[in-house]
Structure 1
Amino acid sequence: MKTVSRFIVALMGLGVVLTACDQREFDMPPLNEPVYSDTATLTIAAFKAKYAGVAVTQISDDDVISGIVVANDISGNFYKELTIMDSTGGLKVAINQGDLYTQFRLGQQVFIECKDLYVGKYGGYMQLGGPYNTGIGQMTWEVAQAHVFRDGWPEPDHTLLTPQVVSMNTVAAEANLGKLITLENVFFATGGTEVCAPVATDGSTQTVSKTLSSTDFPGKTLVVRLSSASDFANKTLPAGNGNLTGILSVYNNTYQFTPRDSMDFAFVGFGAGFVSQGSGTKADPYLVGYALSHQSIGKMAWVKGYIVGALNSGVSMDNPLTGNEGIKWTAP
C-alpha cells in the first residue's frame, strides 16, 4: 500500500515536484536545531587511554568527549548501542533504548558529559554506559538524555563516515577498535549457501559468527557478527569476492567485525537479495525500494526511479493513494 508521500519520495531523484490537489496552505512546524554550547575536554583516544588500566568505574572527573555517530541500530545488527568517532578513534556507547537511530543518525555530532557515567571493558572492548552487576552494561535512556547531547543537524557526508581501508593483515589491532573500516578483497567460504543469521531453534533472536577470509592474505580470517534481528538476516550470505565495511571490536582476545546494514556488503558475486542500493549521492542515487524502506532515517538524498504513472484527479492529502486504482498508468 502506497501513500502520496511515498510516491513523491520515489520521484524526488528525477527532479519532479508534485503538488497535491489540496491548495490550502499549511505552516511548517518549527524545527529547532540542537546546539551544545560547551566543548570537549578529551579526544576519544585520550579518554580511552585515561581509563584503559582501570576496572569498571564510575567517572568522577568532568570529562567531556565528542564524536560523530558512525554506527547505530537502524538495521538491527547493532542493538541498543552507538559507535562514535573523532579523528583519533572510536568508542561504543551503550544505551538501554531501542530505535536509537531516530535520535542519533549517521553523521550526527554528539557531546557526552561523562561524569557519573560508567566506563569499562566487556570482553576486553571498552564502552561507555552504566553498571550491570559487577560489570559494564547500558546506561538508562533517562541517564542518556541527561548526558548525551546532539549538536547541529546530521552530516551524511561527514568525512568520518568514509571508512578507513585496512588490510586483513593489519586489522586485528587495538588501535582499530571502534573504528569504521572497510576490508577489501574478502570472501565468505559459505557465501551463497546459507542465510546471514537464522533465528535460534527456539525462535529467539541470536547473533551468529561467520568466517571472513582474505584473497590478498591467504590464511588470514576475521569473525563477522550477524544478528537474526537484522533486516537482512534472511538474505543469503553474499557469495564471491568483495569488500565489507563495519565496526571492529574484540571479545576475549577474538577480534570481531560487525556490518551496520546490508549496504556495507559490496561483493562482485551477489548473494540473493544483496545488490547495490546506491549511496544517496547524485552520482550514485538510492534505488526506490531502499529509499522507501528507509524513510524514517530523515536523510536528504538522491533517489533514482522511472515515472510509470501519474495520480488520478481527486487524490490529495485528505484522500491519499491507497492502491493502484488511484494511479493513471497512461500518459495524460
Structure 2
Amino acid sequence: MKKKRIITIVIALIVSILFVTCADDTDFRVPESLGNEENEAVSDLLDSISIGMLQLKTIKQLKELYIIGNDPLEITSNIVVKGYVVSSDKSGNFYKEFYMQDAPENPTAGIRVALNLSNSYNKFNIGREVYIRLKGLYVGETNSGDGNITIGGKISATDLMEIENVTSNQIPNHIYRTETTAEIIPKLIAFGGINASDIGTFITLENVFFDVKLLGTSYVDPVEDFDTQRKIQTCLGLGYDDLLLETSSFSRFSSETLPEKAGTINAIVSKDFKGDLIVLVLNDSKGVVMNDERCTPLPAEEYSTILLSENFDTESGDIDVLNWINLREEGTKSWRSYTDTYAQSKAARVNSINSGDESTITWLITGGINLDNTSQEFLSFETSNSFGNGSELQVLISTNFDGNKKNINTASWTVLPAKIVSDGENFKNWVHSTYLDLSAYSGTAFIAFKYTGNGNENFNGTYELDNVSVVAKE
C-alpha cells in the first residue's frame, strides 16, 4: 500500500510539472532576476550601444521623427530607445499596450507601445527598465490623426495610415527588459497646464474632485460598451477648470462609486479614441485618493483692478496694438485681425497652413505690466482653433525682457500652465485659459503668445486669441 501511494504522488508531481510547463507563455512572474538567455541579450544590446553599433535615442527624439497624421514611419536605422514602464493592464484598464517614460521621476516625454501581449504587467511591470531596438518597427498612430504617437510592429492591412501591434514573434527580438525596476514618482503638474507634451507620462494632480453632478455614480456608465469619460475639476483662481478621466468598461473597478470629496489623482496622460481630447487613464482606482473638502473659487469682486484688457476689436490687418510686439521669428505668417462670424467679434489669428514655409515661429507680446503695486494678479484669455494639429500655441512670461524685439531670445521666458484649446474642439467654441496666478512674479512682466508650426501643410492649423486680461487685487 505504501509503495502504491508513493507511485501516485510521483505521478501527481509529474502532472503538475507538465501543467506549469505548458501554461500560457504570456503569464510571467515578475522576475527578481532574468534568465541567462534574456540577460545575455540585454548585455549584448548594451555592449552594442557602448561601442556605437547601436545609437541610443531619447523618447522625445524618437517622437520628433514622426509628424502626427503622416504615414507611419518605418525605422530602418540601428537606433534604440529606453524607457520605464508607467502603465499596467492588471486591472483591465489598458489592453495590449503599455506606456513608458524617459525617467522614473520628472520625465520629459513618454510614448505608447502597442504589442500583441495580454497580461503584459507580468513581464513589463510598472517601473521596469525597457530598451526597444527599433529597426524593423514603426512609429505612428494606431488611429490616424489621434495624436498618440506609438511604437508598433507593422502597417495596418486595412489602413496604410495606421500601425498595428508589435507581434508576439517580434517582441523577443525588439523589446528588452533589464533587471532594474525603478520606483515611479508621479510628476506633479499644474491642472491647466496639461498638454500634448505630457502624453505617455505618469502625473499627479492635487486638489481635484469629480463634478458634483456625478455624485453617487460609478467610474463607468453601465450603459456604455467601451469607455466612459468622467469630468474632474479644480479651483483655479476666480473659477473652476475641468479635465476628463477615461475608464474602460472592462476595468475591474468600473462599477466602483466615485469619491465625493477632493484630493489627488495619479494617472497616465493619453488621448481619447478619436484623438480629440487629452484624457487621464488610471492604472487602478488606488490612483484616486480623495479625503479632503472641496474648494471654492476666490471672490471675483475683490479683483477689480484692471492691469491689461485687449479684445482686438479695433484691429485690422496685422495686429498692431500700442506697445505690443508682433514678430515673425521664422516664416512669413504674422498674427492678424480676424472676424469671428459666430461670436460676432474680432480676434487675433495666426496659422501657417499653405504658407510654403518649412518652419513658422510667430510671437505676439503684450506691453509691460507693472506687478509691484498690487497684491495678487490673474491672467486670463480665450482661444479657439481650426485643425490645430501639428502646430502649437504657448503662453510665456518674462520679467527681464526689455521690450526690444531684438532681445526676445536673450530674455528668460517661462511657460505658463494655461489651458489652450485642444485640436478636437469644435471650431465655433472658445476655451477659457483658466485664471493664471501671477503673484509669484514682480517688476514689469511681459506676456507672450508664441505660435510654432512644423512645415506640414496638411496639419499646420490655426489658432485664434481673444479677451486677454490681467486683473488684480489692491
**The two structures share one fold, judged by TM-score above 0.5:** yes
Residue 139 of structure 2: aligned partner: 119
Residues 135-284 of structure 1 correspond to what in structure 2 (within 5 A)?
A: 135-155=162-182, 157=183, 161-171=184-194, 173-189=195-211, 190-200=213-223, 205-216=225-236, 218-251=239-272, 252-268=275-291
Residue 44 of structure 1: aligned partner: 59
Extract structure 1 runs of 4+ deviating beyond 6 A: none
SS in 2 for 1:234: coil
Within the candidate set 93, 117, 121, 1:77 is matched to 93
Give % identity.
Answer: 28
The residue type paired with residue 179 of structure 1 is T
Q: 1:41 to 1:265 in 2, by over 3 A?
A: same
CA drift of 1:219 comes to 3.6
1:101 aligned onto 2:121: yes
Q: Distance in 2 between matches of 1:232 and 1:262?
A: 6
CA drift of 1:259 comes to 1.1
CA drift of 1:213 comes to 1.2
Deviations 1:5-27 (A, max 9, x none): xxxxxxxxxxxxxxxxxxxxxxx
Q: 1:30 to 1:150 in 2, by over 3 A?
A: closer
- Max Rg structure: 2
Residue 287 of structure 1: aligned partner: none
SS in 1 for 2:121: helix
Q: Distance in 2 between matches of 1:30 and 1:92?
A: 25
The residue type paired with residue 284 of structure 2 is D
The residue type paired with residue 277 of structure 2 is T
Residue 66 of structure 1: aligned partner: 82
The residue type paired with residue 263 of structure 1 is K
Q: Distance in 2 between matches of 1:55 and 1:153?
A: 35
1:191 and 1:236 in contact (8 A); partners too: no
The alignment of Structure 1 onto Structure 2 pairs a total of residues equal to 234
Residue 346 of structure 2: aligned partner: none
Larger relative contact order (CA 8 Å, sep ≥ 6): 1
Q: 1:61 to 1:233 in 2, by over 3 A?
A: same
Q: Distance in 2 between matches of 1:111 and 1:80?
A: 18
Q: Distance in 2 between matches of 1:232 and 1:58?
A: 38
CA drift of 1:119 comes to 1.1
Q: Distance in 1 between matches of 2:85 and 2:221?
A: 28
Q: Distance in 1 between matches of 2:167 and 2:271?
A: 24
Q: 1:61 to 1:31 in 2, by over 3 A?
A: closer
Q: 1:116 to 1:31 in 2, by over 3 A?
A: closer
1:199 and 1:206 in contact (8 A); partners too: no
Q: Distance in 1 between matches of 2:33 and 2:134?
A: 31
CA drift of 1:100 comes to 0.3
Residue 92 of structure 1: aligned partner: 112
CA drift of 1:198 comes to 4.3
SS in 1 for 2:191: coil
Give the alignment's TM-score, normalised by structure 1: 0.65
Q: Distance in 2 between matches of 1:138 and 1:128?
A: 8
2:196 and 2:278 in contact (8 A); partners too: no
CA drift of 1:230 comes to 1.1
Q: Distance in 1 between matches of 2:260 and 2:208?
A: 10
1:58 and 1:119 in contact (8 A); partners too: yes
Extract unaligned runs of 5+ from structure 1.
Answer: 1-28, 271-332
2:203 and 2:267 in contact (8 A); partners too: yes
CA drift of 1:82 comes to 0.6
The residue type paired with residue 60 of structure 1 is T
